[in-house]
Structure 1
């Protein structure tokens, strides 16, 4: 089935205002049979967005309208394309209980969901690792090296898989190599193969899925999917389900980074 499991919406404060209809019509035009809207879930209570623009997620007051809009689309397009109501949920170390409360509140309304790491905890401070090259550089200086940032990221991804977030915890791990977003400006030789295999092993053990995220190919300082194809091939060998996601933040980004080998 031709499917996109990772699409953002006009509710994303750091995306465009392209309408739901623009996304759906574009998906139909491309031949998709199923799509998942996975807007950034509200951040857990007590966590302060550390990005300079404070625009990482939708506000909790928007959830009702968000689900209502998707339900309207389901009614209108139900005979043409399967539309899933979903969320991309941040795993933030130290805020597991607060995240579980969000999921308990909305979980019964979710058709699909993704668990992603954007924020890293280091020395009791949180950083958003994919906000900008400048912010990433500041992290490198504070952590001591690029290697330390990568190490902390992969440790956190593994924690996200192992964490107890309750009944409605997402079962798909989002862009597991997002730390490579700025790799052409901040190159590193270490491929972190042991860390990668530990993550894949945990995904397999828990029966989770992996997001094959095409957005990285479109990023000028990355130019590869998250994760890259060698990791995807290992995941396939382990029998891990791979779900393509464009991670589109505007309708024209649907289908970005999609390769025929992983046409789902």
Structure 2
């Protein structure tokens, strides 16, 4: 694989201190021709991070330095690898206008972006579903069952897909089945495949690409990509572009899980594999 489209950086509070240079040198070792740094964007104004360590995303004061640092390595490595400035935008229900305002202001700085759901609204609270299996258990208790967590997650993803976030709304949905991160410990009793297929149908209608994310392969309670092979096969069938991503939070994790992605992806026509990014405003 020649492109890793979902990579975090030293600006991630819950990541490593590996430098941009370390990431890029590792990318070159792997033979990558393109990389997108997609750090967790600052959470929407007014939203309080509810994780125990309050380290879900970069601080707003770090945003411009983040852009500047990537521009430096872009220039340094321009003859060796294509480097994209990107962000992973959190869709948080109830904060759509704040997200839109953020994207309107900072979207012009971006080459790439993706839209992901990490926080679910449970009553008057927002709980991070992928922080830990313990917190997922609390979310299950709050919503009543594992099945209800899955339903809430997919409903929220659908809201993200249909949301009006302005001209710079990301054109790719991140880790579509992230709710499966703890599936070995908290298995649902219902088969919700049709719900995921329906989301893919809406993504196709909206012209969105799919983050084909290898990180789940490495998670002890998941052991498969986000999304699972059967969903990727369907996405290919209906012509949704795939963007391969490791979701690396340290340099050595670039390309993680790709060995599980290749057998499925290589069966698709090359025209359905997205290897580059077109700015949203174009």
**TM-score, normalised with respect to structure 1:** 0.98
Q: Which residue of 2 aligns with 1:19?
A: 19
Matches within 5 A, 1:124-163: 124-163=124-163
In the TM superposition, what whole-angstrom CA distance separates every residue of 1:160-217 from its partner, at most 9, and x where no partner exists?
A: 0000000000000000100010111111243312211111011100000000000000
* Equivalent residues of 1:34, 1:83 under 8 A apart: yes
How far off is 1:125 after superposition? 1.3
Q: Secondary structure at the match of 2:134?
A: helix
Alignment gaps of 5+ in structure 2: 267-274, 276-282
Residue 88 of structure 1 pairs with residue 88 of structure 2: yes
Give 1:48's aligned residue: 48
Equivalent residue runs for 1:101-120 within 5 Å: 101-120=101-120
Residue 121 of structure 2 aligns with which residue?
121
Structure 2 CA distance, aligned partners of 1:30 and 1:16? 20
How far apart are the structure 1 equivalents of 2:143 and 2:88? Answer: 27
- Following the alignment from structure 1 to structure 2, what is the Cα–Cα distance between the partners of residues 74 and 15? 21
CA drift of 1:123 comes to 1.3
Structure 1 counterpart of 2:269: none
Tell me which residue corresponds to 1:226. 226
Residue pairs, 1:237-248, within 5 angstroms = 237-248=237-248
Aligned to 1:217, what secondary structure does the other structure show? Answer: helix
Structure 1 portions without partners, runs of 5+: none
User: Using the alignment, how far apart are the partners of 1:170 and 1:70 within structure 2?
Assistant: 19
Deviations 1:74-96 (A, max 9, x none): 10000110000000000000000
CA distance in 2: counterparts of 1:70 and 1:139, whole angstroms: 36
For residues 244 and 24 of structure 2, what CA distance do their matches in structure 1 show?
A: 16
1:260 is matched with 262
Aligned length: 264
Preserved CA contact (<8 Å) 1:158 1:198:
no
SS in 2 for 1:230: helix
The question of whether the paired residues in 1 share the 8 Å contact of 2:50 and 2:128 is answered with yes
Q: Secondary structure at the match of 1:37?
A: strand
Q: How far off is 1:243 after superposition?
A: 0.5
Whole-Å separation in 1 of the counterparts to 2:87 and 2:253: 18
Backbone CA RMSD of aligned residues: 1.0
